[in-house]
Amino acid sequence: MNALIPQAWAQGAAPTAGGQLAPLLMIVVFIAIFYFLLIRPQQKKTREHQSMVSKLSTGDEVVTSGGILGRITDIGDTFVTLEIADGVRVKVQKFQVTSLVPKGTLKNA
């Protein structure tokens, strides 16, 4: 009876070459999918936002991340002064400017 146990272990011990490569291949595929669906689009959006912020100029009408609509009256290194109403000016950080709006939007709001 003892002779049957070593034979049973020997039969199940043969590894297959394809079985060792499959998990590694799946990890590589998941990393590639993760990169193309999440990381790459976020990097593109960040680059576009940085480009837009660097091109801001006095007189541009913008919307901030807090929803404030205003016209740029002064631009510093890290801050932008917005006129949100006649004589009402607020200072916000440049990166808080989320989008440019067409000229004249402030008059219609």
For 59-62, the CB contacts below 8 A with 24+ separation are 60/100, 61/100, 61/101, 61/102, 61/103, 61/104, 61/105, 61/106, 62/97, 62/98, 62/99, 62/100, 62/101
pLDDT at 20: 83
Do 99 and 64 sit in the same domain of this protein? Answer: yes
Do 45 and 61 sit in the same domain of this protein? Answer: no
pLDDT at 94: 94
Per-residue pLDDT of the chain (109 residues; tens, 9 = 90+): 555 565 555 555 555 555 788 899 999 999 999 999 999 999 999 999 999 999 999 999 999 999 999 999 999 999 999 999 999 999 999 999 999 999 888 787 6
pLDDT at 19: 75
Structurally, the chain folds into a number of domains equal to: 2
pLDDT at 55: 94
Do 90 and 49 sit in the same domain of this protein? Answer: no
* Inside any domain, residue 68: yes
The domain in which residue 42 lies consists of 20-55
CATH number of the domain enclosing 74: 2.30.30.60
Name the CA dihedral angle for 91, 93, 99, 101, rounded to a multiple of 10 degrees. Answer: 20
Do 103 and 61 sit in the same domain of this protein? Answer: yes
